[in-house]
Amino acid sequence: MFSYVLVCFQMLEDSSPVDELMELTAQSLVDLEIQDRFNVIKEIGRGKYGRVLLVTHRCRGTPMALKVMPKASTQLQGFLREYCTCLHLSGHPGIVGLFGIVFRSMEHYCFAQELVNGRDLFSVIQPKVGIPESSVKRCALQVSSALDFIHSRSLVHRDVKPENVLLLDDRCFHVKLADFGLAQRRGAFIRFVSGTLPYSAPELCVRVLREGQVSAPPLPVEPSLDTWAFGVLLFCVLTGYFPWESCTSEDSFYQDWKEEGERNKDTEEEREEEVPPLWRRFTSDALQMFRRLLALDPEQRSSVTEVKAYVLRDWLKPAPPIDQTSPTTSHKATSSLAPPTETSSNNNKNNINNNTNNNTNNSTNNSNSSNNNKNINTNNSNGGSNNTNNNNSHNNINKKHQQQQQHQ
């Protein structure tokens, strides 16, 4: 017998609906072996904290994505929080849905999700090129709507990146946000950070524990963390590059953006020569949008819905003829990159919550970020030249694509 958790709309209006769902789910969690009720077809995802299996229900034949977390490395409280957060938010069309099926086996905690038969957003990004602007805008509207819904429930996703945006089609007419392993309630405190990604906001990066450091000032979890990550996501899918490795003083590309932001904080106008080379491909409207999404001060950062005001405007300048390309811009942006690799033709990869996270305590177990850092090979070239830093930073898109193909 399965545990079907029914959620009424009244509960969604309560002050702490996720906590109430956790209590209800804990009381009704049943013991069940996977093979008793499901046919396991294959593994479709694997992360540090668990696996995702493609299964069909033995009685109904319904295909599902079954998230499986080993008990040996998963605390029940963390499992319940992730499941109940997903359940609380799954009514939104832009968020991966649940079947309300949750149970424990002898060795695992499990819950069933909607099966998304497609790829993740990262897998369709062509290195050094990105994806068409029209597709980016369709994706941006849907992801911003999903994030706005999450924020309206006083939650913060905290892991916004292309790998967690699932595509039902390659042109982004329908996308869904996934993976709530790091989601936290707004106002909770991050005590320390063990690693960063290009999507990590500056206020988060300064809390990475350095050698010999045992603590850092706590940071309250706010939607502005998601806004920053969303802005970086848009840059990645529009260009095929990361804008930087991390928001630190050692990263020259981030410092370029920081200096640009400080120059333009009191004006919306800019001179072409003052715009960092990697950003010169964007129109003035797009730069204005990025300045609001990627404002250095989290208090001045816009909400994710800011993108709606710019979606009818052009974001990318028309590409100039090859013989008229600016040597300065071209050199700094692309000189050290390896040739882009072919995107794999395997469309059966269902990247549903590959990087699961227990999120079991308030000290923000950001080891997920550490694990992801290995995946994208963010090897910072401390003190290197701009060209060397460019090779380490922007070549990561190519390396990640190669890793995904090998894994497939």
| Binding-site residue positions for ATP | 67
- Which SS3 state, helix, strand or coil, does residue 269 take? coil
Spatial neighbors of 130 by CB under 8 A, at least 6 apart, are 136, 236, 237, 238, 239, 240
List C-alpha distances in Å: 386 to 2, 328, 333, 343, 379.
57, 12, 10, 28, 14
List C-alpha distances in Å: 355 to 120, 163, 218.
13, 9, 25
- CB atoms under 10 Å from CB of 169, counted, come to 12
Is 159 catalytic? The answer is yes
Residue pair 330/324 in contact (Cβ under 8 Å)? The answer is: no
Q: Extract the annotated binding site.
A: 67
| Structure tokens given for 76 | 């029940």
Distance CA 83, CA 101 (A): 10
* Active-site option among 14, 36, 159, 226: 159
8-29 burial by CB neighbour count: b if 16+ within 10 A, else e? eeeeeeeeebbeebbebbeeeb
Residue pair 165/198 in contact (Cβ under 8 Å)? The answer is: no
φ, ψ at 227 (rounded to 5°):
-60, -45
What is the residue-wise DSSP string for 62-130?
-EEEEEEEEGGG--HHHHHHHHHHHHHHTTSTTB--EEEEEEE-SSEEEEEE----S-BGGGGPBTTTB
| Structure tokens given for 294 | 């990627």
| Catalytic residue annotation | 159
